[in-house]
Structure 1
Amino acid sequence: MSFNIALSGLNASQKDLDVTSNNIANVNTVGFKESRAEFVDVYAASLLASGKTKVGDGVLTADVAQQFSQGSIQFTNNALDLAITGNGFFATVPELGSLETSYTRAGQFKLNADNFVVNSQGGHLLGFPVNSDGSSASVSLSTAEPIRIPTSSGAPTATSEVDIRMNLPAGDAYISGAPGNFDPEDPLTFNNSTSVTIFDSLGDSHVMTYYFVKDDPTVNPNQWLMFAAVDGVPIDIQDPNTDAIANGRVGGAASGPLSTRPLPPPNAGNFGLVGARLEFTSSGDFIDQFPPLADGIITEQLGSTILSNGAESSQTIQIDFNLDPLAPNPNEPTQFASNFEVTALNQNGLAVGRLTGIDIGPDGLVRATYSNGTSEPLSRIALVNFANEQGLTQIGNTSWKESIVSGEALAGEGGSGTFGTINSSALEQSNVNLTTELIDLISAQRNFQANSRALEVDNQLNQTILQIR
């Protein structure tokens, strides 16, 4: 019997050595969880045997239990490197459409050839679908899908409105001959100018420039003319309610509010342009404009020059001055005794955006940013927890699968309930303490030697008995 006891001790010591060696071997494995060999004694006695004199029958390995304590966090420069601080596992599937879910703490993710977020083994990271505001549409693991990062942000949007706020200097001098001598290529024929990038229906960019010319203060006091050009080609600013080109050119004098006046006599300038007229009070408040709603029209006749790429040639761009006829407001243009200053110049068009970056929040929200200045929520990384983590089945590659002992997978968002938070550009290191493992290694070695010695002594005793005559 003593042979069997010593032999069980050898087996237990060998198992302890194996577990310790495996921990040491994975000291640099991302997301690895150390194991601990747990032993129990063997004791058996018959019904009538005396328990006071019964000796144990050795030792057995009861379990090799993994310890899911938090590993240290190492920060990286890769936004797709993910680490969980607290409870939870990442969920992955081996291929699209698969229901074979595995769970891991190793967050070394990257993009594959189809722009899906995958780990080194090709497992697709699962995420919950999100609404346009970034809120989760569902937190059920059955609705989780592989996360894909699109390289473009969709179809372009043609510019339809430009919002502009500026101050026109009240002290600017009247340029003799204006606006009849206006020439966009001659800065001596206009007082100020500003530009904004607009987009056509194909997402191609163009530069729209606005030129401001102070009118003759003896004829039209506190009035300015505004002309426009796209990519250096002058365009007409037309009244959306009438044919401004047929009725004449902006210029000359008339009485009454601008929005109710007939168009003044022609004043075409060098290019025969139709411009807009802006009127201010003596205190610098913007009170009127003509046309009533100034629209810059890229007409069909300019299609071969400005929009030679095949974009929609009848694109209309509305110029919004935020006119409030009742009282001054901070969104209107002004005419004060200060420098020319553009305080707002925005347009609503978009080019086709290309992916420029990925941002992942502590709650797992994946947001893509694009070169056209937009950002878009794509998905929310699914986290999964279990009632008994140590009951998970190891499958290698620092991954586990659900088992009867572990309980069912419980899905949720990072930072909610008992789930930990997600750190982007970080990795969870192995939770192995190398110093402790080396001490355990020495201890396991001593145990092995002691059991070997017990086996040797048993053998010597048997030899002594066999030699008795």
Structure 2
Amino acid sequence: MGFQQGLSGLNAASKNLDVIGNNIANSTTVGFKSSRTEFADIYASSFASSNNVAGIGTRVQDIAQQFSQGNTETTNNGMDVAITGNGFFRLQSVGGAVSYSRNGQFQLDKNGFINNNGQFLTGWMADPTTGLLVKGGNPVPLQVSVGNIGARATGGSGVANAGLQMIMNLDASKPVISRAAAPAGVGPLAITDPTTYTSSTSATVYDAQGVSHTLSYYFTKVASNQWEVQTSFDGAAPVKTGSPAGTNGYLVFDGNGKLDAATVPTDPLTATAATNVAAFNFTTNLVAPNGATSPFAFTVNFAKSTQFGSAFGVSSLTQDGYADGRLTGLTISKDGTVQGNYSNGQTKPIGQIVLTNFANVQGLAPQGDNRWVETFASGAARTGDPGTSDLGSLQSSALEDSNVDLTGELVNLITAQRTYQANAQTIKAQDTIMQTLVNGL
């Protein structure tokens, strides 16, 4: 027995202790991936064909990273993100160098970039006008604008029937109110006189400057299954909804309490036929009193409203306008979409985080700071949206813990220590034999 085997064993055991110590030291490092020491035996090449030879020791063949999933721990920070499944965050330095990480401890810098330890998180940015993600080419650093979202007038969303949508029930048991002049009837509607209308409700709408206005609706049962609709804008005198001439200011129902698009209503004052709007979309043209863009025009939709013998009630009231609002927080969804939350209750897509995976993740080269870089051994980076292909999904307000099994590493530490001591004993034994030979000469 020579010194070679014992020395190689000491070197290998020492390297193994280094790896175990590094794992233990990073047992609480977010996104850390443990490593293990892999050994190989050594034989003299000149004796490789012989079956009766002793090896000349061992060597460290590889320090293999273990990319198993770490536990997910929830946090109180909405900017923290954990990856569940395969993939890495794609990071970019100020100089443009790309690296990859599983550490999702992100924050905003003074310029609004989402970053980790000075490395910018990359993805797809959303078009500020349309809100659509601009994909293609290389992902770019994600930047959050801290400016206000701006205002939008009711009806300004550009979608079909943009404006105000109201679903309600009009009480079929209510009596007819005549619009004839007194004493035969009650005459014109007066918003201060509840005997001149059957039911009313109000909605808040916004002009192009984001100033809110009150739009009050007055529903009067003027004939069997026929309701007159009049509107008061900011407390002004009411007009028939949809037109100054009142040609489509009516809702007509059938005998089953459903809206009737086929029956032609009759104006109770002129006794002439009025227009029945098939889709029950009423056009509202208003003048904004504060100098905002006029006419202030949008559609009011009453589709799906009913006339049953129960109390009047509005079951749904939505409109697409809003006042200006400032950024109050961010929300990150499972597919990586980053949405801004604003003080006016609106949300706006800002961008989307991308993930990257490799054919051989163990071939990545560690760079420190919980980052790796691509190598020839890892294969080319494959980047895509979270939840697609072999890429995992994201969980916000959470972090992936280190995948170090501390109990297992402590056991490995004891084993490695014994191995080191045993190899030292082989050297000691060889030293004793050599001493015996020297003393006997």
TM-score where L is the length of structure 2: 0.78
Paired residue for 1:410, among 373, 382, 388?
382
**Alpha-carbon deviations, 1:106-164, whole Å to 9, x = none?**
22223333333222x122111135689998764x6x42112234456743221244444
Which residue of structure 1 aligns with residue 37 of structure 2?
A: 37
Post-superposition offset of 1:24: 1.1
Which residue of structure 2 aligns with residue 92 of structure 1?
A: 91
Give the count of matched residue pairs. Answer: 412
The answer on 1:288 being equivalent to 2:265 is yes
The answer on 1:316 being equivalent to 2:315 is no
The answer on 1:229 being equivalent to 2:232 is yes
Which residue of structure 1 aligns with residue 403 of structure 2?
A: 431
Instruction: Verify the 8 A CA contact 1:43 1:57 in the aligned structure 2.
Output: yes
CA change 1:365–1:225 in 2 (3 A) is closer
Report the Cα distance in structure 2 between the residues aligned to 1:388 and 1:282, rounded to whole angstroms: 69
Instruction: Verify the 8 A CA contact 2:20 2:409 in the aligned structure 1.
Output: yes
Instruction: Verify the 8 A CA contact 1:321 1:333 in the aligned structure 2.
Output: no
Post-superposition offset of 1:358: 4.3
Instruction: Verify the 8 A CA contact 2:166 2:317 in the aligned structure 1.
Output: yes
Mean Cα displacement is larger for which, 201-210 or 356-365? 356-365
- The unaligned stretches of length 5 or more in structure 2 are 156-162, 268-273
Which residue of structure 2 aligns with residue 144 of structure 1?
A: 139
Which residue of structure 1 aligns with residue 121 of structure 2?
A: 125
Report the Cα distance in structure 2 between the residues aligned to 1:112 and 1:430, rounded to whole angstroms: 25
Post-superposition offset of 1:88: 1.5
Post-superposition offset of 1:101: 0.7
The answer on 1:158 being equivalent to 2:153 is yes
CA change 1:462–1:154 in 2 (3 A) is same
Task: State the one-letter code of the partner of 2:43.
Answer: Y
Structure 1 residue runs of 4 or more that deviate by more than 6 Å after TM superposition: 130-136, 175-178
Which residue of structure 1 aligns with residue 191 of structure 2?
A: 184
Post-superposition offset of 1:235: 6.0
Which residue of structure 1 aligns with residue 361 of structure 2?
A: 389
Which residue of structure 1 aligns with residue 373 of structure 2?
A: 401
Please report the RMSD computed on the Cα atoms of aligned residues, expressed in angstroms: 3.8
Mean Cα displacement is larger for which, 368-377 or 21-30? 368-377
Task: State the one-letter code of the partner of 1:288.
Answer: P
Report the Cα distance in structure 1 between the residues aligned to 2:85 and 2:237, rounded to whole angstroms: 62
Which residue of structure 2 aligns with residue 278 of structure 1?
A: 250
Instruction: Verify the 8 A CA contact 2:228 2:251 in the aligned structure 1.
Output: no
- The unaligned stretches of length 5 or more in structure 1 are 245-257, 260-275, 323-330
Structure with the greater alpha carbon radius of gyration? 1
Report the Cα distance in structure 1 between the residues aligned to 2:366 and 2:85, rounded to whole angstroms: 20
CA change 1:318–1:382 in 2 (3 A) is closer
Which residue of structure 1 aligns with residue 319 of structure 2?
A: 347
**Alpha-carbon deviations, 1:303-336, whole Å to 9, x = none?**
3xxx2xx433x333456466xxxxxxxx276655
Which residue of structure 2 aligns with residue 28 of structure 1?
A: 28
Instruction: Verify the 8 A CA contact 2:229 2:251 in the aligned structure 1.
Output: no
CA change 1:200–1:383 in 2 (3 A) is same
Which residue of structure 2 aligns with residue 209 of structure 1?
A: 216
TM-score where L is the length of structure 1: 0.74
Report the Cα distance in structure 2 between the residues aligned to 1:421 and 1:197, rounded to whole angstroms: 39
Report the Cα distance in structure 2 between the residues aligned to 1:363 and 1:180, rounded to whole angstroms: 60
Paired residue for 1:111, among 104, 108, 117?
108
CA change 1:195–1:463 in 2 (3 A) is same
Post-superposition offset of 1:195: 0.5
Which residue of structure 1 aligns with residue 80 of structure 2?
A: 81
CA change 1:56–1:383 in 2 (3 A) is same
Report the Cα distance in structure 1 between the residues aligned to 2:264 and 2:195, rounded to whole angstroms: 28
Report the Cα distance in structure 2 between the residues aligned to 1:401 and 1:50, rounded to whole angstroms: 41
Task: State the one-letter code of the partner of 2:295.
Answer: Q
Task: State the one-letter code of the partner of 2:369.
Answer: N
Task: State the one-letter code of the partner of 2:44.
Answer: A
Post-superposition offset of 1:191: 3.5
Which residue of structure 1 aligns with residue 66 of structure 2?
A: 67
Instruction: Verify the 8 A CA contact 2:187 2:196 in the aligned structure 1.
Output: no
Paired-residue identity, %: 40
CA change 1:62–1:298 in 2 (3 A) is same
Post-superposition offset of 1:359: 4.3
Instruction: Verify the 8 A CA contact 2:220 2:229 in the aligned structure 1.
Output: yes
Instruction: Verify the 8 A CA contact 2:73 2:398 in the aligned structure 1.
Output: yes
